[in-house]
Amino acid sequence: MTGWAKKIGAVLAALSLAQPALPQGSGQTPATQVSNTPQGGFVLKMPGELVLTNVVARDSKTGELVLGLKQSDFTVYENGKQQQIATFDFESVDKATPLNEATVSGLAAGATGNKAVVVARPEDLRNHRLIVMFFDLTSMQPEDLDRCVLAARDFIKTKMQPADLVALVSLGDTLKVDQDFTADKDALAREVGAYNGTEGQGFAPGATANSNQEEDTTGYTPDESEYNDLNTDRELFALRAVAKSLEKINEKKSLLYFSGGISRDGIENQASLRSAINAAVRANLAIYSVDTRGLQAISPLGDASTGSLRGTGAFNGGALTNNMNSNFASQEVMATLSSDTGGKAFFDSNDFAPAFERVQRDTSAYYAVGFHSTNPARDGKYRKLSFKVNRPGVKLEYRPGYYAPADFKHSGREDREQELDEQLASDMPATDMALYLDAMYFRIDDNRFFVPVSLIVPGSQIPFVKGGDKDKATLDIIGSVIDEGKRPIGHARETVKLNLDPSLQAQQKSIEYTTSFNLPPGKYTLKFVVRENQTGRMGSFEAEITLPEMKKAPLKISSIVLASLRQPSKQQNPLVRGGQEYVPNISHVFRQDQHLYLLYEIYGPARQKPAADAPKGTKATINLLSSLELMQGSTKVYETPLVGATAINVEGRDAVAIELDVPLAGLKPGQYLCQLNVIDDAGGSFAFPRFAVLVREPATQPAAVPAAQSSAGEASAVP
């Protein structure tokens, strides 16, 4: 998913050709007013979102365009309440200035390696038709693709007008901009022709999307609903990405969506569908869906795309009903996309020319009307629009409404989950909330590591609320582990409910969350996103960790855990010793009234053979020595007594766990450089890792409050 998100980023850069100061054609844009006060100061006023809608006026009898209307001729209503028109403009392709070589430049390379001949500048787009042809290659069969390619080439060669600027987008293995907006017919025809033979991307709907085998009582039909849900989300995300990339272009845009159908599983894809529609409405993009399957003859016995029919469906009409329902269901999403964005859907026809004609007809001339909604609520609810004109015999065409902007408080569960998933896949970090992450490793066996991951969020970043006699808050946490091949191999998702005693003064402390993964040796990227669920603020942190191949290392040592807190635990993992779990202090900041606890493991230590005169049966011994030095500058200010180990104390893993306890009361506040001395005397190997710690006075640095611990199994790690 991450790789695909990067491809989407390329689409955003390629399609965003115009960057005006105020988007005139977008569905909702912020508006700001500055007024002078009697005292000579200035007051900044935010009248609300600017809602812009394109209105086509036609003669109710002849259907001809009605020109010459003024702002005073229109009245606009939102949910039945009259709104004051703030902006008004008229655009017509008859007033378009033809593009020429002096006004263009090449920005994008097409699929065949050709440079775009004409790419519009912001000032060139006024009074032009902006048409995006979107070819969903993942959903079309070869014959469907041939039909839509022929129709598109025919439109380009014979019906495309000088005022038309066309862009080409395709969804296959990735979402690609094959041609930026251009008026060059040859370049467009060349790129469209390249789509032939590109079907078969491996993302077509599964068997359950169109199967007549629901009556099979003896065989097995695989459940591919989750697979189909993922494909549908992928298609809707692609549409939303294209819409978002067009938000800053002034004029009305049209998108011809060529698809072999989109299947939706109940409400599973509702959030994705609504997100795509909202993005299109805000971008003033009308979607014209074209079912490239054309007119179909649905056979009661099914066709070659499904397995042999079993049961009695062929005799009682069940199979035919199932196939018809399946076909209608695959068109329902396309119809919704069109109706809710002001476009039109074209189904059950082998002639695609009417779709192109309708796009040209709807965008030949229109009035752009904008208003500031008097409803300040950011509740995400649907608001119905209606327009009236004070001239008789005039019929108005416009989109029926829009969804109001929604703040976090009013967003639904699906929208919130989607928001987390998108942030996890995003290349841009979330910085609204401070977050720090660290990961360590302990060897479980020769080819496996236990990887504890700790996250810290300052309590001051979390808006706690009073709930009875407790301070309460909720955190949503999502994370993933990505290997060197950019494949997700581990996932964590948890909602942490904080219910803390006020005496803990949680807002003055840090909240720590711990989870873990089981991973093989290799280099990994860890990314976690944390969201507090009062205002919806998020923070993210990304880090790399390398799990070493220890077979040839002279001294095999784990990560070094620094802790100021040990708490009772019944879990069984390397962080638990003697029923006490070490809570990692990943900030390395300690107070004078605390102890500095260290925990680390040595694997496969060398064995020292018994002396020649040793009694028979004497076993080989190990001899590990360890100590910790604290230095300030070049001066050693403290050193622990030497700790020795002569036997394995972690059974089953051939490991020695070493624990050190350093009381900090005798140390002055300040920063210290710590050197851990680890010597395998029997093997003649050693290591001297260094790290820094900061010691503060007791009143200046509050301790961390453990938020939650999650086992590796709960974190869903998959190698």
Structure tokens that stand for 432 in this block: 């609204």
Instruction: For the chain, give the number of residues.
Output: 719
How far is residue 525's CA from residue 252's CA, in Å, rounded to a whole number?
Answer: 42
Q: What integer pLDDT is reported at residue 115 of this predicted model?
A: 42
138-165 pLDDT per residue, tens: 888 888 888 899 999 999 999 998 888 8
How far is residue 687's CA from residue 556's CA, in Å, rounded to a whole number?
Answer: 9
Q: Answer yes or no: is 15 within a domain.
A: no
C-beta atoms surrounding 511 within 10 Å:
25
Please tell me whether the overall predicted TM-score, pTM, comes out greater than 0.85 for this model.
Answer: no
Q: Answer yes or no: is 32 within a domain.
A: yes
53: confidence class by pLDDT, cuts 50, 70, 90: confident
Domain count, the chain: 3
Which of 130-134, 327-331, 402-406 bottoms out in mean pLDDT, i.e. has the lowest? 327-331
Q: Could you tell me how many helices (H) and strands (E) the chain has, helices first?
A: 9, 37
* pLDDT top residue among 1 and 187: 187
Q: What is the rounded average pLDDT of the residues 170-192?
A: 88
620-629 pLDDT per residue, tens: 789 999 999 9
Q: 395 and 359, same structural domain?
A: no
Which of 154-168, 412-426, 550-564 bottoms out in mean pLDDT, i.e. has the lowest? 412-426
Model confidence at 418: pLDDT above 60: yes
How far is residue 150's CA from residue 153's CA, in Å, rounded to a whole number?
Answer: 5
Q: Answer yes or no: is 7 within a domain.
A: no
Which residue's entry shows tokens 């807002």? 507
507-528 pLDDT per residue, tens: 888 888 999 999 999 999 999 9
CA distances to 86, 170, 189, 259, 504 from 179, rounded to whole Å, are: 36, 10, 10, 19, 60
Q: Determine if residue 294 is left, alpha or beta; phi over 0 gives left, psi from -120 to 50 gives alpha, anything else beta.
A: left
Model confidence at 203: pLDDT above 50: no
Q: Are 399 and 53 in contact (CB under 8 A)?
A: yes
C-beta atoms surrounding 173 within 10 Å:
14
Q: What integer pLDDT is reported at residue 407 of this predicted model?
A: 75
Structure tokens that stand for 71 in this block: 């702002």
Q: What integer pLDDT is reported at residue 125 of this predicted model?
A: 74
Residue type, 168: L
Which residues are paired to 402 by β-bridges? 383
Q: Answer yes or no: is 488 within a domain.
A: yes
DSSP state of 576: E
Domain that holds residue 60: 22-92+369-410
Model confidence at 649: pLDDT above 70: yes
Q: What is the rounded average pLDDT of the residues 429-455?
A: 91
Q: 358 and 506, same structural domain?
A: no
Which residue's entry shows tokens 């394995």? 648
325: confidence class by pLDDT, cuts 50, 70, 90: low
Q: 531 and 558, same structural domain?
A: yes
Q: 130 and 80, same structural domain?
A: no
What is the enclosing helix (H) or strand (E) of 571?
none
**Minimal CA–CA distance to 572: which of 640, 646, 653?**
653
Structure tokens that stand for 717 in this block: 């790690």
Query: β-strand 538-547 against 470-482: which pairing, if any?
Result: unpaired
8-18 pLDDT per residue, tens: 333 333 343 33
593-603 pLDDT per residue, tens: 999 999 999 99
Q: What integer pLDDT is reported at residue 216 of this predicted model?
A: 43
Q: Are 18 and 121 in contact (CB under 8 A)?
A: yes
Q: What is the rounded average pLDDT of the residues 280-297?
A: 84
% of the chain exceeding 90 in pLDDT = 34
Give the DSSP letter string of 450-472.
Answer: EEEEEEEEEGGGS--EEETTEEE
308: confidence class by pLDDT, cuts 50, 70, 90: low
Which of 42-46, 134-138, 255-259, 495-499 bottoms out in mean pLDDT, i.e. has the lowest? 42-46
Residue type, 658: I
Q: Answer yes or no: is 4 within a domain.
A: no
Q: 420 and 402, same structural domain?
A: no
Question: Phi first, then psi: what are they for 706, rounded to 5°?
Answer: -60, 125
Q: 115 and 65, same structural domain?
A: no
Which of 221-230, 331-340, 390-399, 548-557 bottoms out in mean pLDDT, i.e. has the lowest? 221-230
Q: 84 and 102, same structural domain?
A: no
CATH number of the domain enclosing 108: 3.40.50.410
What is the enclosing helix (H) or strand (E) of 105?
none
* pLDDT top residue among 510 and 428: 510
Q: Answer yes or no: is 716 within a domain.
A: no
Q: Answer yes or no: is 318 within a domain.
A: no
Q: Answer yes or no: is 190 within a domain.
A: yes
Q: What integer pLDDT is reported at residue 260 of this predicted model?
A: 86
**Minimal CA–CA distance to 129: which of 307, 288, 294?**
288
Query: β-strand 394-397 against 42-59: which pairing, if any?
Result: antiparallel
Q: 109 and 84, same structural domain?
A: no
Measured N-to-C along each axis, helices 225-245 and 318-341 cross at an angle, to the nearest 10 degrees, of 20
Q: What is the 3-state secondary structure (H, E, C) of 135-147?
A: EECCCCCHHHHHH
Q: 285 and 182, same structural domain?
A: yes
Structure tokens that stand for 567 in this block: 């708490």
Q: 482 and 448, same structural domain?
A: yes
Question: Phi first, then psi: what are they for 11, rounded to 5°?
Answer: -65, -45
Q: What integer pLDDT is reported at residue 323 of this predicted model?
A: 60
Q: 186 and 51, same structural domain?
A: no
Q: 423 and 567, same structural domain?
A: yes
**Minimal CA–CA distance to 644: which of 671, 628, 626, 631?**
626
CA 391 to chain centre: 48
C-beta atoms surrounding 47 within 10 Å:
16
How far is residue 690's CA from residue 675's CA, in Å, rounded to a whole number?
Answer: 4
Model confidence at 250: pLDDT above 80: no
Which residue's entry shows tokens 């365009």? 65
Q: What is the rounded average pLDDT of the residues 427-450?
A: 90
Which of 5-9, 166-170, 381-385 bottoms out in mean pLDDT, i.e. has the lowest? 5-9
Structure tokens that stand for 630 in this block: 């604290």
Which residues are paired to 352 by β-bridges? none
Q: What integer pLDDT is reported at residue 377 of this predicted model?
A: 84
CA distances to 174, 266, 406 from 485, rounded to whole Å, are: 17, 34, 37
Model confidence at 633: pLDDT above 50: yes
381-409 pLDDT per residue, tens: 888 999 999 999 999 988 888 878 777 87
Residues in Cβ contact with 392 at an 8 Å cutoff, skipping those fewer than 6 apart: none
Query: β-strand 129-136 against 253-259: which pairing, if any?
Result: parallel
DSSP state of 127: T
